[in-house]
Structure 1
Amino acid sequence: MSTGGLDLDLLLGAAREAVLAAAAFALDPGAEPRVETKQHAKDLVTQVDRGAERIIAERLAPTGIPLHGEEQHRVEGFEEHAGPAWVVDPIDGTTNYVATHRDWAVSLALVDGGAPVLAVLADPVAGRLMTAIAGRGAWVGPLRSAGGGRDDEPIPIAPDLALEQGAAIVPFSALRGVPGAGGVVSAALAARAYGSAALEIAEVARGGAVAFLHGGLKPWDMAAAVLLAREAGALVTRVDGSALDARRAGSVLAATPSAHARVLEILARARDAGGGAGDPTPWA
């Protein structure tokens, strides 16, 4: 299939191979991670992050499409970039990679004009690979699937559960920075946070949560998972309900249609009242 001049089937094959190679390297890099900090003490990076991004860049170079990554590759003026671009987070959840050795992901999306049109997301520790093409659905299969994804199964459209019927994924940063986030936690059946935005949004896609709320993500944190969630029937916007452009950093709300409406109602009420994030309930 070709969309806007892009052969998405061919590009999906290249993206799968790139992500699988990076995931294999991250699972067995041949040395202990050397941890450094970037903008602040909790913003970690390792030589494995950088090596995984290099692997992906090398594998995707033949596509001729520029790559915008967290670590070493940038598309100048990406916020206004009109053509297609790869967006990669080589290890989403580096703190988890270093500290708990689970709940980290390799995230790759093809973004065209602000919209993700192709996604590959690996959860290497769980042995899971998720893929999506805009308008054609999302799939999940084993990480080391042979035969280019023939073992993959479609991710079904998730049931339209209400906020009160499922878990809301609300990281602590959202509790501090998004007015009304505490109310979302109170209204949900339970609240969770795993430390990898890509896997957290994907949890909505897979039906394990009814909502995800975050006050500020970079394009590489969200681009792939946003497409997975949309193709599984979730609504994905900014936290005020406005359209999300995956080229630009900002807030993200991904939820079932019913939960999405309820979260927007709670957040709007908090904004109208001029309140802060509120006192969160204990994590259930």
Structure 2
Amino acid sequence: KSDEVLVMDVFAAKIDFHRFSLADKKEFLADKLWSVPWPFDKASAPYSIAARKAKAKMPQFPPEAKISIGTDTPCTNITLQFPYAHDPDCVEAYKIEASYQAADGAWVVFTRQDLQADFYLPPEQRPGLQIHAFNAGYFAAGKKYRFQVTPVDFFGNEGSSLQAETTVPKVEQGETIFESSQPMQELPFLSGLEGGSPLPLIDDFYHHKAGNARLVLPEQVWAGPAKTRFRFTIDMQMKQPGPGQWTIVLRNPTPLTNANARIYTPPGESGLQRYVIDFQKRNENYDYYFLIREGDAGFVQFKYVKIEKFP
């Protein structure tokens, strides 16, 4: 439920909008009223997306801002901390990209995660610091990694990025139950939530026609009592020409139960993307498949799958 109130003052030639918060009983940005000329003219509307985007200032981090990188022991997570970026209209999200350093010294992006900013909180409730954790399954011991954080406003404008590097000395590992560097040869990718037919291949990519499609995993990989902890890791590449984004989950078919909250894939051509789902199974009989759903038609390629079990 919202605690915000909008009050309109209607005049002969304009409408003023006053914004109030019932939480503190104060007007929000009283010196910056929303004011719309009246009668309304769509072509010159001052708050249209096109008009606001054209005037929007790029979000920027403070000059002294930096990323702090921390790990726990044993290394189950790598945690990033960084200050807020400044934007007159608030930052919508922070695009966080992780890269590994290849043998030739080049940096290769292998995952992107978008962190929602705290714009929805009243200013006095915003902690001023963003915190984001990556599961250890994203990393390999002894490798060097680079993290890049980019602030993004509500119109998709990106400000300057922060970067930080670290070498991961050790990562938590479970018992490997299944591992494949050729999942497209070893695992069926079928349409629908049950039954279905194999998706067609075009230039080594599956053509996903939107809706539901599932990567079927081997039998007994999820064997174990309720609350057994598993880690599922998958490397994939996507081409999504439309504006829609897919969501991905591990799903138990009966009853329909997800192992994780929905993960949104990045739009467009993603390049390599790694996803790690670390969870405890809720029931001894649950048996999960990897589900891609929603969004628009596009193409997907699976490059690597690993399932670990923890005591």
TM-score (norm 2): 0.28
Q: Which structure has the larger Rg?
A: 2
Structure with the higher strand share, 1 or 2: 2
TM-score, normalised relative to structure 1: 0.30
